[in-house]
Chains A and B, each alone.
Chain A
Amino acid sequence: MNALTQTAALVAKDVRSELRTRYALNALLMFVITSVATILFALREDPASPEVLGGMFWVVVFFSAMSGLSRIFVSEEEKGTALTLQLIARPTVVYFGKLLFNCGLTLILTTAITVLYVLIFPQFTVQSVPIFAATVVLGSLGFASAATIIAAIIAKANTRGTLYPVLSFPILIPLLMTVMKSTARALAGEPLVSALGELQVLVSYVLIMTGGSFLLFDYVWKD
């Protein structure tokens, strides 16, 4: 019970801090707007197929998530508050607090990208809303859980900037491939059952990633 309220308190702290500094949110939204605009200019001449747009959708998610979500631990490390947090909160509370915050941020991010895509690209027609919604939600959770543990690892390293994409790419390949395939099915209007395989993979990915990170976190977090 106590651990739950402590976790809630940590999430509330991060939300309040984010609202005040706009550190991650601004970086994320700027990235989304510029990359979607770039795709728009690149595809102006010949309209892209839904498959290409679906793939591009996740490219935007990948790069903006990787640029913004790593802040969660790096900022604590840079402000010199990481040790304070370690002192007052148990590792479980820190891990789940940060994970929840990143999940929220990623869901906001994917929702914003979806809205932009639907408004800007007439070819981006989601024929099967249930598949698409499930893919976006599970994909977001997958990105958030992978990003959280990678952020915890790199926050302790000296070469923060370069390490992040290098470490995250191999971990995210299975996720990226699955969400792209599943998004293609949603755009083609296939029935929900046909995407069941991919959705199962996504659920497993989220569970394995979260469980594995949870076990690993104690070692990463403490010097």
Chain B
Amino acid sequence: MNDLILSVHGLARSFNRRLVFKDLDFSVAAPGSLAITGKNGAGKSTLVKILAGIASPTKGRVTYTADGKAVDADALRERMGFVAPYLNLYEEFTAWENLAILGRIRTGTVPSAEQIGDTLRRVDLWQRRDDLVAGFSSGMKQRLKYAMAILDAPAILFLDEPTANLDADGIAIVETVVRDQQRHGILILATNDESEASWCRERIHLAGRGTDARP
């Protein structure tokens, strides 16, 4: 999936009568990154969910192209990573099982033991690979979400509140992931933290109603 481009045209979303955002137009091309900033309730999470295809916009559309051709949702899904507080993993499975099982559901092929092992080492959960996620601390769960997101080297990676619950080492891991991702693919990061937003090359600010996009 080369030269992936995400484009957004006239995007709007409202809940009942309340408008969250409208008239969003922007595009991000690989390699590249976009930070979505705004206050609590500005619509950052709503926007990333729509971009990732797990929520629908009220108006407008989100399109993906690779090598100039449209990418369908199913092909994209296999090449997408997403870390967010509202995306949980299975507590009744171990860290290893989560990656093996969810990886197989995502792509149809079982990830190799090497691939799973390397990913778990990257997020520093190797020692705890056979423990149930139910017994994980919230920071460890967040690390495992990163492992799941980067397991198949995603073409596009969405991060919502990227450093939630993470310690200094965890934040360093996130910074590496962020740097790698914007070198090879697309990174979309939603945050209200200025220093996290500065990791990205471009920025869009959601001001509650309407938007004010800054390059």
Interface residues of A (CB under 8 A from B): 1-3, 5-6, 9-10, 12-13, 16-17, 20-21, 79-81, 83-90, 93, 222-223
Name B145's closest neighbour in chain A (CB-CB).
A84
Check A81 against B54 for contact (C-beta < 8 Å).
no
Q: Is B59 an interface residue (CB 8 A)?
A: no
Chain B contact-residue range equals: 20 to 34
For B62, the chain A residues whose CB sits under 8 A away are: none
Instruction: List the 5 closest pairs (A to B, CB-CB), nearest first.
Output: A80-B88, A2-B108, A9-B104, A88-B106, A5-B108
- A83-B86, A88-B77, A222-B56 known, 8 other contacts, Cβ within 8 Å: A2-B107, A13-B101, A16-B93, A83-B49, A83-B87, A84-B102, A87-B80, A223-B55
Check A89 against B56 for contact (C-beta < 8 Å).
no
B62-76: contact bitstring with A at CB < 8 Å (1 yes, 0 no)? Answer: 000000000001100
* B105 contact from A21, A83, A88, A222, Cβ within 8 A: A88
For A89, the chain B residues whose CB sits under 8 A away are: 77, 105-106
Interface residues of B (CB under 8 A from A): 49, 52, 54-56, 73-74, 77, 80, 82, 86-93, 97, 101-102, 104-109
Indicate whether A5 sits within 8 Å of B88 (C-beta atoms), given known contacts A87-B52, A87-B77, A90-B73.
Answer: no
In the complex, A164→B77 CA distance in Å? 32
Q: How many A-B residue pairs have CB under 8 A?
A: 73
In the complex, A7→B97 CA distance in Å? 17
Check A6 against B54 for contact (C-beta < 8 Å).
no
In the complex, A89→B49 CA distance in Å? 15
For A10, the chain B residues whose CB sits under 8 A away are: 105
For B56, the chain A residues whose CB sits under 8 A away are: 222-223
Name B72's closest neighbour in chain A (CB-CB).
A90
For B92, the chain A residues whose CB sits under 8 A away are: 17, 20-21
Check A84 against B104 for contact (C-beta < 8 Å).
no
Check A222 against B88 for contact (C-beta < 8 Å).
no
For B77, the chain A residues whose CB sits under 8 A away are: 87-90
